[in-house]
């Protein structure tokens, strides 16, 4: 459980709103390399790791979609790790508590108690105390496991949603036109009068 808390609360976590704004701003300006650097700096956070293949210059274009799907799948597998163990522990712990109580009650009525029988009610008192303790430990362990499962599952689903939102934001930024100021500057440079003025003179001086 401690490993799940560390992974979901710290290792995989990032300020997703700030990261998404920063990446979108850089991509809107056409600064893909800087956007990749920002995502790399946010590693090992899961959202950054999932979105990085879309802008990483080291990944060939033909492999970007495959890398993205693999990392989303890895994040899903990582989010579910040990979750079933917590759910099983919640079920088994309470059952073991009641089984322990049944064993103690059986001890009260059927075991050889030796010198404990010399004190009236001593055997029953010891047996029922142990039975109560067994049930209490079982219920406490079950409640802890079930509560941990519920909270960590919610956090894990939130991390996966963050991955999908950041990937969608990067894809939208890559598909959308670049910043209007940059676009206008590009159009100005490509205007006929500017293009003619910038062309080098020919051998005839024209």
Q: Which of 159, 171, 169 is nearest to 14 (CA)?
A: 159
What is the residue-level pLDDT of the chain in tens, covering all 206 positions?
A: 677 777 776 777 788 889 999 999 998 888 889 999 999 998 888 999 999 999 998 888 889 889 999 999 999 988 888 888 888 998 899 999 999 999 999 888 887 777 766 677 778 888 899 999 999 999 999 999 999 889 888 998 999 999 999 999 999 888 865 444 444 443 444 445 544 444 444 444 44
Q: 140: which 2 tokens? A: 């406490």
pTM exceeding the 0.85 threshold for the entire prediction: no
* 190 Rama class: left (phi>0) / alpha (psi -120 to 50) / beta: alpha
CA neighbours closer than 13 Å in the CB half-sphere of residue 132 = 6
Is the torsion defined by CA of 167, 168, 169, 171 positive or negative? Answer: positive
Sequence ranges of the domains in the chain? 2-180
């Amino acid at each position: 459980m401690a490993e799940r808390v560390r992974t979901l609360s710290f290792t995989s976590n990032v300020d997703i709103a700030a990261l998404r704004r920063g990446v979108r701003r850089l991509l809107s300006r056409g600064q893909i390399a800087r956007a990749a650097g920002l995502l790399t700096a946010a590693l090992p956070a899961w959202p950054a790791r999932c979105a990085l293949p879309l802008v990483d210059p080291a990944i060939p274009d033909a492999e970007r979609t495959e890398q993205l799907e693999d990392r989303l799948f890895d994040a899903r597998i990582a989010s579910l790790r040990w979750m079933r163990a917590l759910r099983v522990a919640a079920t088994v712990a309470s059952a073991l508590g009641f089984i322990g109580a049944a064993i103690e009650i059986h001890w009260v009525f059927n075991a050889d108690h030796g010198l404990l029988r010399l004190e009236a009610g001593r055997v029953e008192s010891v047996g029922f105390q142990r039975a109560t303790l067994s049930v209490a430990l079982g219920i406490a362990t079950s409640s802890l496991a079930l509560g941990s499962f519920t909270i960590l599952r919610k956090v894990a689903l939130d991390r996966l949603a963050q991955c999908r939102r950041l990937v969608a934001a990067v894809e939208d930024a890559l598909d959308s036109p670049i910043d209007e100021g940059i676009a206008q500057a590009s159009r100005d440079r490509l205007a006929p009068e500017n293009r003619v003025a910038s062309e080098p003179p020919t051998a005839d001086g024209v």
